[in-house]
Amino acid sequence: MTWDINLAIAGGLLIGASAVFLLWFNGRIAGVCGITNGIMDKEVKDKGWRIFFLFGLLMGPVIYLALSSKPMPALPDTSLWLVGASGFMVGAGTRLANGCTSGHGVCGLSRFSIRSLVSVVIFMLTGGISVFIVRHGFGG
């Protein structure tokens, strides 16, 4: 448990370093959905750095796997319909809210944005309700 917390703090610091690095050098906010949406939207011209960021993000788990002996988490036994519905809602919701856990959570809270604070409170709340229903709601 304590080891878990230490790893959580270490991971959070790495994420913070990533956000600081991107703003310091490139002047950009490290929001994962903002960056990916920019790759898909045709009016956004600067796709290069976005693709590189995404590629780096994908390399993260591979680097970790190469350095540690810890096994990767097991796949939960969940219906793919539910996974798809979840993905669809995450995509639509983050587009409307213009940010997700990284954009509003990490970067937004760090610059004391009211919009981000409102967003984080709402998605934590609805996320909690959603998990409650999935795990305990139907007589589970």
Partner 1 sequence: MAKNMIALLSGALFGLGLTVAGMTDPVKVQNFLDILGNWDPALMFVLGSAVVATTLGYRWILGKEAPLLDDQFFMPIQRVVDWRLISGSAIFGIGWGLYGFCPGPALANLSLGRYDAFVFCALMMSGSMLARQFDLRFSLYMRSRELRIRVQTSAH
Under the criterion CB under 8 A, does residue 114 sit at the interface with partner 1?
yes
Minimum distance of partner 1 from residue 74's CB (angstroms): 8
> Site residues for partner 1, window 58-87 (CB under 8 A)?
58-65, 72-73, 75-76, 78, 80, 82-87
> Site residues for partner 1, window 10-69 (CB under 8 A)?
10-30, 32-33, 36-37, 40-41, 48-50, 52-65
Phi-psi region of 16 (alpha: psi -120 to 50; beta: other; left: phi over 0): alpha
Distance (Å, rounded) from C-alpha 54 to C-alpha 32? 8
The set of residues, in sequence order, having a beta carbon less than 8 Å from that of 87 and lying 6+ positions away, is: none
3-state secondary structure of 91: helix
Minimum distance of partner 1 from residue 124's CB (angstroms): 7
Under the criterion CB under 8 A, does residue 125 sit at the interface with partner 1?
yes
Under the criterion CB under 8 A, does residue 90 sit at the interface with partner 1?
yes
Minimum distance of partner 1 from residue 138's CB (angstroms): 13
Q: List the one residue out of 123, 110, 120, 113 whose CA is nearest residue 22.
A: 110
